[in-house]
Structure 1
Amino acid sequence: MIVLDLGGVLVASDAVMTAVAERLGVSRPALEAVYYGPREAYDLGGADLAYWTAVGAALGATISDGDAAELTAIDATKWADLPAESAEFLAALGDRRTAVLSNAPAHLARTVRTATWSQRFETLVFSAEVGLVKPDPAIYAAADRAYGTTPGECTFFDDKPVNVEAARAHGWDAHVWTGPADALARL
């Protein structure tokens, strides 16, 4: 089973950060400095409003219910927009079994599940749905249960070394994502 992370592997953060920063009326570096701080609670299933309120507060902005709904939609839509390079990579995998393991809030998980490209994956595991986030060792065990695999059957790619190390400790063949060409060579 080839297991891929979403953010930083299948989808780069560029379009997400640009769109959210524009909506908030802040620079991209200002957004990037605060975007990930409260993200773990959000990825564990936290409320959209709580997350965006925290981001707004860090930027000195007040976030209304309507703002949070709009930001949630932008965030989820951009993270679910598969770039051509990733589509080509997935096509190159042919009929190999594939799955996703991603730290992602509930709205993003729902949006990805409705994206046409996600139908190519046998199983998608999102942190908000299992109440665990990478690099918690329990999320890799939960993913194995969802995939119907044992640790030795999974090859995992993630952009964060800490997540790769945790996957290796679980028994997965795990690699830091450096791009499609390297991943294909490893496979």
Structure 2
Amino acid sequence: MLRTPDPAPSVPPKAVLLDSGGVLMQPIGGRWNPRADFERTVLSRDPQITAEQFAQAIALGDRFMATAESTPDLDKYHAVMLEHLGIPASADLLAELVRPVPADVVLEIFDEVIDTLKTLQARGVRMAVVSDAWPNLPQLHADLGIHEFFEAYAISAVLGCRKPDPRMYRHASDALGLTPADCLFVDDSPELVAAALDLGYQARWMDRTGTRSQHPDSAALAPISSLTELIELFPDAP
């Protein structure tokens, strides 16, 4: 049974813990993994690979990710797909698949994010990120102009666990020196929001796609459709 959060708490939270993907940013083209240039890079080694073969390999990579205890090593993830495609996972190919590209080539920040983060920061709201991601997430955020807003990062590939493991949430709140009740967690996964509530955090479900009417516990998860809806939870700075 979910604990229904107070939609307008009498004592506002002191910090916001934000998921990254789906809350702060999204992949250009709609796919998180593998990176958007995966097919182009692999085709340079074997131009005969078909779209169906790529789809099968990516599905296999998805299953590999889903069954891992934490966000797996990126080279191992790529190697699983390359093996299915019959392409040797050579060191130079693995390096090419993760070669640096400008973040804004593959990622975009949602329109309201930067202005909202600026407003929250001006009101003294402390912020951290809790994300199932690889270790380069802070650098991606820096490239996209939002790293400066966050005091701490809880990243699955760094911590060796992923949400809903309590260590993910608590790493962020502990880093801020705050209790769970002092922190508002925001994620685009209703299951992960429910887990945060069970751990004593305030929480909101980021429902950008309008699926709340299909979820049986929608009211308990206090869905929002834009980050700007958080601003009303925090009074203006005196």
TM-score (norm 2): 0.63
SS in 1 for 2:17: strand
Counterpart residue type for residue 23 of structure 1: T
Displacement of 1:151 in angstroms is 0.7
- Tell me the equivalent position of 1:19: 37
Contact kept, 8 Å, 2:20 with 2:129, in 1: the verdict is: yes
Question: Sequence identity of aligned pairs in percent?
Answer: 26
Displacement of 1:43 in angstroms is 8.3
Displacement of 1:143 in angstroms is 2.2
Select 1:163's aligned residue among 184, 192, 199: 192
Select 1:4's aligned residue among 13, 18, 32: 18
Displacement of 1:169 in angstroms is 1.0
1:91 aligns with 2:157: no
1:184 aligns with 2:228: yes
Q: Structure 1 residues 166, 60: CA separation in 2 closer, same or farther (over 3 Å shift)?
A: farther
Name the CA distance, whole Å, in 1 between partners of 2:153 and 2:146.
12
Name the CA distance, whole Å, in 2 between partners of 1:63 and 1:75.
20
Contact kept, 8 Å, 1:43 with 1:103, in 2: the verdict is: no
Q: Structure 1 residues 76, 54: CA separation in 2 closer, same or farther (over 3 Å shift)?
A: farther
Name the CA distance, whole Å, in 2 between partners of 1:105 and 1:79.
18
Where in structure 1 are there 5+ consecutive unaligned residues?
none
TM-score (norm 1): 0.77
Q: Structure 1 residues 148, 80: CA separation in 2 closer, same or farther (over 3 Å shift)?
A: farther
Displacement of 1:178 in angstroms is 2.2
Higher share of residues assigned helix? 1
Contact kept, 8 Å, 2:28 with 2:108, in 1: the verdict is: no
Contact kept, 8 Å, 1:13 with 1:79, in 2: the verdict is: no
Which protein is bigger by CA-based radius of gyration?
2
Displacement of 1:152 in angstroms is 0.7
Contact kept, 8 Å, 1:19 with 1:74, in 2: the verdict is: no
Name the CA distance, whole Å, in 1 between partners of 2:82 and 2:186.
32
Q: Structure 1 residues 41, 146: CA separation in 2 closer, same or farther (over 3 Å shift)?
A: farther
Aligned pairs, number: 186
Contact kept, 8 Å, 1:44 with 1:105, in 2: the verdict is: no
- Mapping for residues 35-184 of structure 1, pairs under 5 Å: 35-39=61-65, 44=70, 46-73=72-99, 77=103, 81-83=107-109, 85=111, 86-95=113-122, 96-106=125-135, 108-109=136-137, 111-112=139-140, 114-115=142-143, 116-179=145-208, 182-184=226-228
Displacement of 1:61 in angstroms is 4.1
Name the CA distance, whole Å, in 2 between partners of 1:90 and 1:182.
12
Report which stretch shifted further, 154-163 or 41-50: 41-50
